[in-house]
Amino acid sequence: MLEAKRILLIVGGGIAAFRALELIRRLRERGASVTPVLTSAAEQFVTPLSVSALAAAKVYRDLFDLTDEAEMGHIELSRAADLVVVCPATANLMGRMAAGLADDLATTLLMATDKRVMLVPAMNVRMWQHPATQRNLATLRDDGILTVGPVEGAMACGEFGPGRMADVPDVVAAIEGVFATGPLSGRHILVTSGPTHEAIDPVRYIANRSSGAQGTAIAAALRDLGARVTFVTGPAEVPPPPGVDVVRVISAAQMAAAVDDAFPADAAVMAAAVADWRVENASGSKMKKDGTGAAPQIAFAENRDILATISRAANRPALVVGFAAETDDVVANATAKRQRKGCDWIVANDVSPGTGIMGGTENAVTLITETGAEPWPRLSKAETARRLADRIAAHLTETMA
């Protein structure tokens, strides 16, 4: 998939810079050529000699190097690649990108390129969670920048949490996903996944048992068919797949807003287990026992019906797929749900106790369309996802040719 692809690799200045060396090696093993660019901070962690040796290519470092500008000016360098990858993408580098600065070779190349850009963030957990970093991340994603990671893990500083660079094989898979070709190439598909958490107070919430495994598998299967996937996920147990645009949310209200922001899309697969209700009188402080034995009075309000809303929206996707997790009369209830919500298809499954479906590794679904119900055999969630992705591809090819 990467044979003869040209990658412009910008190495940022963080401790994770040493992992860019492994990334270069793996990309070249797959047939890609790598043109490396080092920021001045990156040179504190890796040497130009080691980077050049692994890339078998010249290392570019200085915006004002007259020899480099004569041989290949920064404008040509920024556009000669098929993809620009920033690894690691530090908080500082992301901030400068979001602000539109072009004050060194790396940021100038990023401003001048007409190719897709992928960031591989890596930083301290507090830096990653800082509101400024999250604002910058939102700006960059709005600009069409792809991201891979970060993930949770132990960091060089001794802290633990989100901010650790994604594993190199996942970064490679994400890069391969950019070049994936298939029946969904050029299509944008929205996938929602995971549970939502509805706050009772700052330390308690109401949720469900969804692991997010099926939605994650669907996003990966659609990506493998060439689609550009926006993956809106609640706090799931499984990590998002590489090579998709990830939007993380907590509550149903946040998921609804993220879905709105993801449009327009050619198709939407609404696999998330969204809470039907939220706590209307959620407390701003932890609820305490008062010694009387009386339970707190919790009032509920209905959340916005995301599936019904997008099924009837003016900018409705050409195909809207809903999910129905049922414990009784699965096909009848799911068929009624499809008609009530206004979506095109419903993927129904039996999550009654004893099936092992909810939170498990397998699924047994019935695909319900306007023509009737089609039961599928019990399969792994990955195989279920591939079947659904193939059906989506065939439908879009037929209806949007």
For residue 15, the 8-state DSSP code is G
Consult the annotation and say whether 231 binds a ligand.
no
Distance, CA of 251 to CA of 46 (rounded, Å): 41
Q: Which residues contact 253 (CB under 8 A, 6 or more apart)?
A: 278, 303, 304
Q: Please indicate whether residue 87 is annotated as part of the active site.
A: no
Q: Which of 340, 278, 273 minimizes the C-alpha distance to 303?
A: 278
82 is in an annotated binding site: no
Q: CA neighbours within 13 Å on the CB side: how many for 322?
A: 27
For CA atoms 344, 212, 279, 284, the dihedral sign is: negative
Say if residue 323 carries a ligand binding annotation.
yes
Residue 337 assigned as binding residue: yes
Nearest to 10 by CA among 73, 67, 81, 72: 81
Unique residue bearing structure tokens 């270069």: 24
Among residues 132, 138, 157, 203, the one annotated as catalytic is 157
341 is in an annotated binding site: yes
Strands 160-164, 151-154: pairing is antiparallel
Helices then strands, each counted (H, E), the chain: 14, 21
Instruction: Tell me which residue has tokens 């050029």.
Output: 186
What residue numbers does the annotated binding site for CTP cover? Answer: 276, 286, 323, 337, 341
Residues of the binding site: 276, 286, 323, 337, 341
| Active site members | 157
